[in-house]
Amino acid sequence: MTASSRLRLKGFALGTANNTKSIDDEGETAISKRFWFISAFIVTTLTAIWLTNPGQWRSSPTVTPTDDPALTEEADNDNLIERTSPLAQIPILMYHVIGDGSGSLAELYVNPEVFASQLEYLYDNGYNTITLRELYDHWQTGAPLPARPIILTFDDGYRSDYELTFPALRQYGFRAVHFLYVKKFDHPNSLTLEEIAELVDAGHEIGNHSYNHLELHTASPASLRRETREAKAALEGLLGLEITSFAYPVGRYNADAVKAVAESGHLLAVTTEYGYASPEQGLLTLKRVRINRSDGLQGFINKLKRYEELEPRRDDKAN
């Protein structure tokens, strides 16, 4: 019979027969002592287990992507690294369209699900996106960069930059550089001014991709001026911001084109030549890593392996 049953029985007996003998006080005391001894033993045992391995009593922290700009900015600041020497190389990834395409230009399209898996890989492996202007400031003034920096560029200003690319990037707190050419605004598949403003507000960079998307290596002096200087002025007037980066249409350029890009006030320019970018290439002829439809996830990973050997994760540096 339990202690509570005995107490109920005691109350019943007292209510029905005053001359019934009460429960033995010594027995009650013995039960109470036994109860407290068992309780103390359980508490002591659990405490010893917790001290031996406290981690098993806590829920594991879950790191999830965020689209909170304040949290992203704080995380970026925490990741900034003061380097003893400038970053030697950096992948500048080149995308065109996030979507499904066919025909002769199918390789320019990256499936949205594949793109999402590529971003997840970058996030899980300690990459941090930066802009070309931030890279310029680092190379020129030693401004700090986050651990394992990388640049994502999108050429031509397709609507998918806003509808598909922007939400996917925002999920991981990533930013990109979008190269726009002026005549693209006449196309129905172009970004709108309102969409571009949202991208800029989220920390994305807008770069110049010429006026008419002409191949500059065969352009006349007048055409070069229009495709560089006038295009830059037109974009700055439309968007109300400074343009400091340039992407050569179709990657074609010559000495005259590079000179025109420099004289029109651009600080950095990118080509379609394959490779990681480095200052030795010339700030106006930087290489990029083209991401093709056929790369999938594994091909994407393969294109970054050498960089990962050169630029370890931040948490690797403590080992």
List, for residues 96-142, the tens digit of each pLDDT value: 999 998 888 999 999 999 999 999 999 999 999 999 999 999 999 99
How many CB atoms are closer than 10 A to CB 294?
9
H/E/C letters for each residue in 30-53?
Answer: HHHHHHHHHHHHHHHHHHHHHHHC
Place of tokens 């003061």: 82
Average pLDDT over residues 249-260: 97
pLDDT at 251: 94
H/E/C letters for each residue in 114-132?
Answer: HHHHHHHHHHHCCCEECCH
pLDDT at 4: 41
Residue 274 phi, psi (nearest 5): -80, 135
Please give the model's pTM, rounded to 2 decimal places.
Answer: 0.75
Span of 49-58, 72-81, 243-252 with lowest mean pLDDT: 49-58
User: Tell me: the pLDDT tens digits for 134-170?
Assistant: 999 999 999 999 999 999 999 999 999 999 999 999 9
Following DSSP, what letter does each residue of 148-201 receive, concatenated? SEEEEEEES-BTHIIIIIHHHHHHTT---EEEE-GGGGGSTTBPPHHHHHHHHH
Say what percent of the chain tops pLDDT 70. 72
Tokens of 211: 């006026």
> What's domain 69-316's architecture?
Alpha-Beta Barrel (3.20)
Listed by start position, the domains of the chain span 3-57, 69-316
More confident residue, 133 or 66: 133
